[in-house]
Structure 1
Amino acid sequence: MIRRTALALGILALAASTAQAQTAWPSKPIRLLVPFAAGGTTDLIARVIAEPLGRELGQPVVVENRGGGGGSIGAAETARAAPDGYNLGMATVSTTATNPAINPKIPYNVATDFTPIINIAATPNVIAAYPKLPFQDYKGMLAAVKREPGKYSYASPGNGSITHLMMEMFKLGTQTFMVHVPYRGSGPALTDAVAGQVPLIFDNLPSALPFIKEKRLVALVVAAPQRVPALPDVPTFKEVGLEQVNRMAYYGLIGPKGMPKDVVDKVNAAVRKVVQDPAIRKRIEETGSIIMADTPEAFAKQMREELAVYKDVVAKQKLTMD
């Protein structure tokens, strides 16, 4: 009888210990995987929130970079990780919409392999031109590319990048034709655009804005909800009648599929609290980004919608990774 009682007590203690371990998340450092090299907007936002997020959760949040494949290598690693809350990843339009839309060999399924947690921030995109071109505003650019189809080319950070597919969307909406010149990232694309090697560039605003401010590039039109304060004279795509192109680049948090809802909700609440800090908000907004801080459900819906939009563009323009 004593043995049975001791055994029963032991089982109860083990069950209580297991339950306590399950509710004590996090009990060790959390990895935040950035699917791009250090230095870009995705990496910057991850590092801005990592330290205060760790303080909020009670465990360090350690940023790791795993670049390559347009973000697909790092995203695939997040998809394969254990869904225990200790493996989070940064999600972008490139990794969850444009790249999967154009590349049939992506090693993950956006709809089934991830747990959306929160869209932290969104960044405007901009079409900019070499300053010595015969046009210096959107109307002039549109007239020029309509008048001489194929004469003008544009640079993007790469085949399948968000701005590549956004320019294809622009071409659909305006019935124009420009030659795509893909680069291995924004840096080399901007270098050639500033040098006049390629007349136009479609890029994320944070990386292009310094060159625009220095008048080494001329901003023509931006994808943003309203005019960007730093570029008050530059219209949005909505203003010029292309609302479908008025899309921003998002930077969110995801985890592997099957993450516990209580952990997802805890991370979401912690990020929302972190971005309420004026100092954190200022650092993110200085990149040209807009704080979003939405719900897991809203972010999941946005990811589905963006993937559908870009799949449609790829189909209509008959785009491939070649």
Structure 2
Amino acid sequence: QPVVVDNRGGAGGAIGTELAARAAADGYTIAIGHVGTLAVNPSLYPKLAYDPVRDLTPIGLLALMPNVLVVSNALQVKSARDFIAMARSRPNDILYGSAGRGSTTHLGVVYLEMLANLKLRHVPYKGAGPAITELIAGSISTMIPGLLPVMLHIKSGRLQLLAVSTRSRLPLFPDVPTIAEAGVPGYEFTNWIGVIGPAGVPSTTVSRLNAEIARALDQPDLKARLAMEGGEPATVSPAAFGAHIKAEIARWAPVVKASGARIE
């Protein structure tokens, strides 16, 4: 049976997610949702055209992708603990980059500031690519991006990897501590990705789709591909995914508020 992929970018994924929310609830229209579209956007967009809990059906998680604390070589720190100590001793002095105000690369650092009791200076860019380029050049000092965009720069030595954002260390970098291990208890931040549909999709259809997702995620080649990028498959029930979305909305609301980001 053919599958039509309709890429609808814009507004932090809100446009595509709104289309999914308005589609017929027959199971034939599904969408990819993530921490931004399902957990951050409700606090970031005052006039968001969909409610992730009311207007969407959670079908299943797909994957958990790590973020990493990286610094420019120009900063001359070799550990996350040293970086945190430096940042505390130099409030509003160290520059960090992001893909833009309200992006996960912005909010991940705000979350670090909240839990670690430090203050950095934000430099938003139009996308993660330009920010990473400026980080390598030393124009800014740090970022918390996804691992994949900076993997080659870490391996080449152009960026220093200080810590990972996940609950546990990554098999790709077993000697690199988590941010929590580096002295920030409770810090955990993954770019989770899942499948959603419009509200009202029949439970039998949701169960079938969830089972097929689990079967696909169990394929060795897909597991290997995710592992190469530091990710891991995440197979949970639709109910567990729905509970996860609610918990993430509650977790990110105060972070968005603290960031001052707001998109009309």
TM-score w.r.t. the length of structure 2 is 0.94
The whole-number CA distance in structure 2 between the counterparts of 1:125 and 1:306 is 16
Alignment counterpart, residue 156 of structure 1, candidates 92, 98, 109: 98
Mapped contact 2:168–2:178 kept (Cα < 8 A): yes
Secondary structure at the aligned position of 1:129 is classed as: strand
2:66 is matched with: 124
Q: Which runs of 5+ in 2 are unaligned?
A: none
Secondary structure at the aligned position of 1:63 is classed as: coil
The whole-number CA distance in structure 1 between the counterparts of 2:184 and 2:176 is 14
Question: How far apart are residue 156 of structure 1 and its match?
Answer: 1.6
CA 1:62–1:288: 2 relative to 1, 3 Å: farther
The 5 A counterparts of 1:266-305 are: 266-305=208-247
1:228 is matched with: 170
Question: How far apart are residue 270 of structure 1 and its match?
Answer: 0.5
The whole-number CA distance in structure 2 between the counterparts of 1:184 and 1:266 is 40
Q: How many residue pairs align between the two structures?
A: 263
Question: How far apart are residue 318 of structure 1 and its match?
Answer: 5.8
Question: How far apart are residue 74 of structure 1 and its match?
Answer: 1.2
The whole-number CA distance in structure 2 between the counterparts of 1:104 and 1:131 is 39
Cα-to-partner distance string for 1:189-238 (whole Å, 9 max, x where unaligned): 21221121211111011222221111111111111131112222221022
1:92 is matched with: 34
Q: In the alignment, does 2:221 pair up with 1:319?
A: no
The whole-number CA distance in structure 2 between the counterparts of 1:318 and 1:178 is 12
1:106 is matched with: 48
Cα-to-partner distance string for 1:156-202 (whole Å, 9 max, x where unaligned): 22222223222111101121111122223222221221121211111
Q: Which runs of 5+ in 1 are unaligned?
A: 1-58
% identical equivalent positions? 35
Mapped contact 2:97–2:131 kept (Cα < 8 A): yes
Q: In the alignment, does 2:148 pair up with 1:206?
A: yes
Mapped contact 1:166–1:245 kept (Cα < 8 A): no
2:188 is matched with: 246
**C-alpha RMSD of matched pairs (Å):** 1.5
Mapped contact 1:102–1:319 kept (Cα < 8 A): no
The whole-number CA distance in structure 1 between the counterparts of 2:181 and 2:4 is 41
The whole-number CA distance in structure 1 between the counterparts of 2:259 and 2:76 is 31
